[in-house]
Amino acid sequence: MKHILIIGYVWPEPKSSAAGSRMLELVQLLLAMNCRVAFASAAALSEHRFDLNAIGVTEKAIALNCSSFDEFVRELQPDAVLFDRFFTEEQFGWRVAQQCPTALRILDTEDLHSLRQARQQLLKATQQMAVDEKARQSVSPVRATAAELYTQMCTSDMAQREVAAIFRCDLSLMISEVEMDLLQHYFSVPAALLFYCPFLRQPAINAAGVPDFSARQHFVTIGNFRHEPNWDSVLWLKHQLWPLIRTQFVTAGVAAPELHIYGAYPPPKATQLHNPKEGFHIKGWAVDAHAVMQNARVCLAPLRFGAGIKGKLMDAMHSGTPSVTTTIGSESMSGGLAWCGAVADSADEFARAALELYQQPSLWQEKQQQGFNILRDYFYRCDYTALLQQRLRTLEENIATERQANFIGQMLRHHQHKSTQYMAQWIEAKNRDR
């Protein structure tokens, strides 16, 4: 492949979200393959966006439901197009297929959006039975088997759209083994259409270079406020978990530490929760997330729903910061190895684990080492960069054969041209008549 077009759902912000870091890793991988890379997006230019021009990537603003994209991609004639999440494949996939039929079509799923949505719906269904806001925000995390999740997902519009996009593409990049298993065993997605690569960059594990137990203080949680699981976790902390944790310290006769909550784009409803008297500090944007994580003694990640790999927990491992999270938070994050802290789905267990980790140096050091073990023995067990490069080369060499084997993908592309295409053209014509 010589020329690659990436169509971004948003402009990458590696300091705002794990998705932004992931996208930058992919860009750097393609540049390392000596590819010319163009990045196009219909999103507005954002405050914290990475300057792609600075690393030799051509940037292009594009429009939704507009034939100007056809002219752009026809002139560009990329060898491959990478879609950032299934939404962009829906919008632009049929246009790419028309103008550049031989170009590889690659989907970066980030995480399985329909899985996250299914869990969110299950959580909301339980919350609807609560008598007041405090009870509503004290509901435990979603616990559902793969079969139960499939039952929830199989009739949903989002799951049908997302899985259809996976079939239409030549390859989908996955970051979660749990999600790959769900797609293959419940949605009948062929293994050849999926490629597991959780991370492409493997920073050195520097156990000696991080602050020790005595040099750290306070709890921390971090995550983009626009990401719904992160905002939900802040609400659970505010209404139930943090009061319980502070009570644990009081009962133990120890001065309660503070909770520092960082994340990009905090809305007014989040900043209004700031309450120093309760030790509940909404800090907002973190210029250096790793420095923030390294200075904290324990990371809290009480995720009640979600999917994929959790960037805050990866940052915690690299920073040598033990964490307390939920089963969903730890999903696809350890490969069965001992967790680098505690996994708790009940509020009482969560609070108790937070106190123990914060107060016991020997336990804290043991869990810190387990985080380094997870990085080394699970996430770094393979050179995913080399594996992905080889898979892309093989796909390029055998694209006709691989597409022929994916009849469902061919069928879905045929019908997509008769639906998504006509809808987009209708919207364009309507906008032109205004």
Together in a domain, 312 and 275: yes
Q: What is the pLDDT of residues 280-330, one digit of tens each?
A: 999 999 989 999 999 999 999 999 999 999 999 999 999 999 999 999 999
The pLDDT of residue 46: 83
Domain boundary residue among 348, 363, 379?
379
Together in a domain, 67 and 151: yes
Domain that residue 230 falls in = 207-379
Nearest-Å Rg of the Cα atoms of the chain is 23
Together in a domain, 277 and 187: no
DSSP 325-356: E-HHHHTTSSTTSPPSEEE--SHHHHHHHHHH
Together in a domain, 198 and 212: no
Together in a domain, 38 and 132: yes
The pLDDT > 90 percentage for the chain reads 87
Q: What is the pLDDT of residues 348-373, one digit of tens each?
A: 999 999 999 999 999 999 999 999 99
Domain boundary residue among 379, 396, 416?
379
Average pLDDT over residues 51-60: 96
pLDDT mean across residues, the chain = 94
Together in a domain, 283 and 325: yes
The pLDDT of residue 421: 67
403 has a pLDDT exceeding 60: yes
422 has a pLDDT exceeding 70: no
Q: Is the pTM of this model over 0.75?
A: yes
Which CATH number belongs to the domain containing residue 415 in this structure?
3.40.50.2000
The structural domain count of the chain equals 2
- Distance, in Å, from the CA atom of 272 to the CA atom of 275, rounded to the nearest integer, reads 8
pLDDT band at 418 (very low <50, low <70, confident <90, very high): low
CA distances from 192 to 4, 391, 394, 399, 402 (A): 21, 10, 12, 12, 8
Together in a domain, 25 and 164: yes
Residue 144, burial from CB neighbour count under 10 angstroms (0-12, 13-18, 19+): middle
Q: What is the pLDDT of residues 90-120, one digit of tens each?
A: 999 999 999 999 999 999 999 999 999 999 9
Residue 383, burial from CB neighbour count under 10 angstroms (0-12, 13-18, 19+): exposed
